[in-house]
Amino acid sequence: MKENFLKELTIICAEDSNTIRSFMQEHMGKAFKNFYALKDGQKALEFYKILRLKNIKIDAIISDIHMPNMDGIELLKEIRKLDEKIPFIFTTAYLEKEYLLEAIKLQATEYIIKPIDIDSAIKKIEKECRFIKQQETIEKQKKELERYLEVIDTVANISKTDLHGNITYVNENFCNVSKYKKEELIGKPHSIVRHPDTPIEVFKEMWHTISLGKVWKGKIKNRAKDDSSYFVNTTIIPQYDEDGENIVEYIAIRFVITDEENERREFKKRVMHNMSESRKEKKKHEEYIKELESKIENQKREKGNKILENKLSSEKRKIEKLNSQILFYEEEMKILNEKTENIIAISNEKLKETYSYAKDLKNTNLQLNFDIKKVSMELKDKNRELIKIQNRVVEQNKIIENLRDVIEHREAQLSEKKKS
């Protein structure tokens, strides 16, 4: 960490907790040139506007999300109305989905998770501020390059083509030398000014070089619309997209070197020397821009990694939330299991009682069956006895009948004897 760079930075912090605000002021106040800690978003916004009016540059804003008067999201909305690029870093103990989506929409730069690790927080602030600083430097260098090109445009023959060699731009000097009107050139292949005397190998080597992203330089003989010839010292520079990764067009800067054209345009050695110096200066700035673009690429990759780390942290927080839910459900399951175990224990007890009752009932049933069988057998025995008794009664009845007959016969005999 380069302390000199940090000592150039002015930071505004919005935090409603007195303890955290004092803690950040004490530790971060030593790291930066200026560190202003305010108690809510409204105070931070008002102070930000005051510093802007005094032309004091604010390099980054740190804000809690939940605050009275004006929360972090509202503060970010107001800041983005005034500055779309300033790094805005949230400090929060947790990330809620609705706040996260709103923060992303408003281009929140980074998050610092509470409790705050001061060293880690300072590194994040430094990285974001360095990234913005490098973007500003590149923008400044590009503007300087544009100014040099404007100077060159007054004395040089300039054209731009797409990746297929079709002309997309020509300056006035190009039209004057080639004797074509601008509308006759735009959209046409650059071979429209190619002279047949120039070997095809020259153009093959030129396209091979610029397709690799390298600058090509050489002398070319061209042909004007009226078939006249002219010679040009040509420099072709590949132009990249904003990310510095893909070539989007080619810009060609030519200086006419024919005697007739030199006399007509009254080129002087001093102008040529100035143009040469301009090319050197331009090349130096181009190299510096490429170096800065390379650094930005590294920064973007690091930032990409940081985004992945943020996503990973976000996923970890989601997992922690899910773990909390799982612990809650596990506790619920534990309670449910205890209730289930109680129910099972009660059921087992009742089952035991039922089993014991069933067992007793079975024993009782067996005893009853035994008793029934016993009674049945007794009944059978009694039936047999009854039958025997009945048989004896029948026999006795027969005996009685026989005795009645005998008695009646004897009475009849006695009656007859009395009569006689």
Per residue in 251-267, pLDDT (tens digit) is 999 888 876 545 554 54
Q: Model confidence at 385, in pLDDT bands (50, 70, 90)?
A: low
* Across 103-119, average pLDDT: 83
Domain positions in the chain: 1-152, 156-256, 261-353
Please tell me the least confidently modeled range out of 170-184, 350-364, 391-405: 350-364
HSE (side-chain half, CA atoms, 13 Å) at 48: 27
Higher pLDDT: 33 or 108? It is 33
Considering 246-260, 271-285, 348-362, the range whose residues carry the highest mean pLDDT is 246-260
CATH number 3.40.50.2300 is the correct assignment for the domain at 1-152: yes
Q: What pLDDT is recorded for position 110?
A: 84
Distance CA 238, CA 246 (A): 10
Distance CA 255, CA 155 (A): 8
From the CA atom positions of the chain, what is the Rg in Å?
Answer: 55
pLDDT digits 0-9 by tens, 322-347: 556 555 545 655 665 565 466 545 54
Q: What pLDDT is recorded for position 337?
A: 56
Query: How wide is the angle at C-alpha 103 spanned by C-alphas 100 and 104, nearest 5°?
Result: 85
Q: Model confidence at 378, in pLDDT bands (50, 70, 90)?
A: low
CATH number 3.30.450.20 is the correct assignment for the domain at 156-256: yes
Please tell me the least confidently modeled range out of 43-47, 80-84, 87-91, 392-396: 392-396
Q: What pLDDT is recorded for position 202?
A: 93
Q: What pLDDT is recorded for position 136?
A: 84
Answer for the pair 297, 244: CB distance below 8 angstroms, yes or no: yes
pLDDT digits 0-9 by tens, 1-59: 445 889 999 999 999 999 999 999 999 999 999 999 999 999 999 999 999 999 999 99
Answer for the pair 59, 35: CB distance below 8 angstroms, yes or no: no
Distance CA 109, CA 93 (A): 17
Tell how far CA 125 is from the center of its chain.
21
Q: What mean pLDDT value characterizes the chain?
A: 76
Please tell me the least confidently modeled range out of 136-140, 206-210, 282-286, 416-420: 282-286
pLDDT digits 0-9 by tens, 162-219: 999 999 999 999 999 999 999 999 999 999 999 999 999 999 999 999 999 999 998 8
Residue type, 370: F
Query: How wide is the angle at C-alpha 303 spanned by C-alphas 301 and 305, nearest 5°?
Result: 70
Q: Model confidence at 314, in pLDDT bands (50, 70, 90)?
A: low
Measuring CA to CA, how many Å separate 293 from each of 49, 131, 315?
Answer: 32, 11, 32
Distance CA 185, CA 207 (A): 20
Q: What pLDDT is recorded for position 361?
A: 46
